Amino acid sequence: MKKKLIAMLLSAAMCLSLAACGQKADTPDTTDPAEPSGDAVTYTVGICQLVQHEALDAATQGFIDALNEALPGQVKFEEKNASGDSNSCATIVNGFVSEGVDLIMANATAALQAAASATSDIPVLGTSITAYGVALDIDNFSGTVGGNVSGTSDLADLSKQADMITEWFPETQKVGLLFCSAEPNSRYQIEEVAKNLSAKGIETKEFAFTDTNDVSSVTQAACDWADVIYVPTDNTAASNTEAIANVTVPAKTPVIAGEEGICKGCGVATLSISYYDLGVTTGKMAAKILTGEADISTMPIEFTTATPKYNATMCETLGITPLEGYTAIAE
């Protein structure tokens, strides 16, 4: 009897065990299909962004989104912000070099300069760079940097930007050129715009701030002298549009801006590019470099299309009628 009871218990235990095994086999697989398989190649990409503001943030996001789409689950991003400090850019990219990242994305001129100085081996892609020849001190720049550097440019046609000033304000006689003296690309832009305005018989004068501390005082000096102010694509200006507007609006001095973010904050009109799309283009370039589809040394700098836009709120505030052919910047 005792042996029979033990046999019955063993039989029941085996049935339960088999049932449990059957249930486990029916459990659905919860592995994320976006994750790479064990054999997939993974990459580490270091991102050095000079400062946080709308345009650069959009470029970084576009870059990340494009790479994630091209190489889903295969890219690890090391994202760092230098808080507007060029020396911090050098510290950040030197860290990336020490880690042995597979590619560096340098967002803004100071970040690109630091990355190009830090390594000649790791691929470096710039974005939000106005003029690569100026940024990297290349004479007679042909459109391709060569070596381990390439990227995208946010430069809109500077002669057309000069034309915008006279289109919107045909009675203008004096234009103040407001920019940060620490940004070489900004100086390049204001010098080119000055040449075009001089050819139209318009007087120009430079008003340069060194950092955020003197933006308001320098802007006031520009307003006291100029009929119109031109602000190029400038990272310090982009981070201080409220301070600029707090001076230009009471003075009723209109601003023509080099990019949409600055125009949205303190300007009347601009030739606008999408920094998100610029970042996407940079991300697509990165995917080709990482997978070996393209050689960075032969990749020319890429651009994006500019669209004429105006700031409806600023136009209303200053009593300016928007011109035909310009699109209102989204609020």
Residue 75 CB neighbours (<10 A) = 21
- Model-wide pTM > 0.75: yes
Q: Rounded distance, CA 130 to CA 132, Å?
A: 7
* Cα–Cα nearest to 154, from 304, 266, 48, 32: 304
* pLDDT at residue 331 in the model: 81
Average pLDDT (38-47) is 88
pLDDT cut 90: percent of the chain above it: 85
Q: Rounded distance, CA 268 to CA 50, Å?
A: 26
* pLDDT at residue 75 in the model: 98
Structure tokens at 118: 């830090």
* Overall CATH class of domain 158-272+307-328: alpha beta
How far, CA to CA in Å, does 221 sit from each of 29, 75, 249, 285? 67, 48, 14, 43
43-154+274-298 and 158-272+307-328: same fold? yes
CA gyration radius, the chain: 27
How far, CA to CA in Å, does 166 sit from each of 155, 170, 173, 230? 20, 5, 9, 12
* Cα–Cα nearest to 124, from 275, 278, 291, 299: 299
How far, CA to CA in Å, does 212 sit from each of 14, 84, 180, 266? 77, 10, 9, 15
Please report, for the chain, the start and end positions of each structural domain, with discontinuous segments joined by +. Answer: 43-154+274-298, 158-272+307-328
The per-residue pLDDT for range 282-314, each reduced to its tens digit, is 999 999 999 999 999 999 999 988 999 999 999
Average pLDDT (158-184) is 96
Q: Which residues pair with 117 in a beta bridge?
A: none
Average pLDDT (134-146) is 95
* Overall CATH class of domain 43-154+274-298: alpha beta
Residue 122 has pLDDT above 80, yes or no: yes
What is the pLDDT confidence band of residue 39, given thresholds at 50, 70 and 90?
low
Residue 78 CB neighbours (<10 A) = 15
The per-residue pLDDT for range 223-277, each reduced to its tens digit, is 999 999 999 999 999 999 999 999 999 999 999 999 999 999 999 999 999 999 9
Indicate the average pLDDT of the chain. 90
Q: Which residues pair with 230 in a beta bridge?
A: 177, 256
3-state secondary structure of 305: coil
- At residue 300, what are phi and psi to the nearest 5 degrees? -75, 160
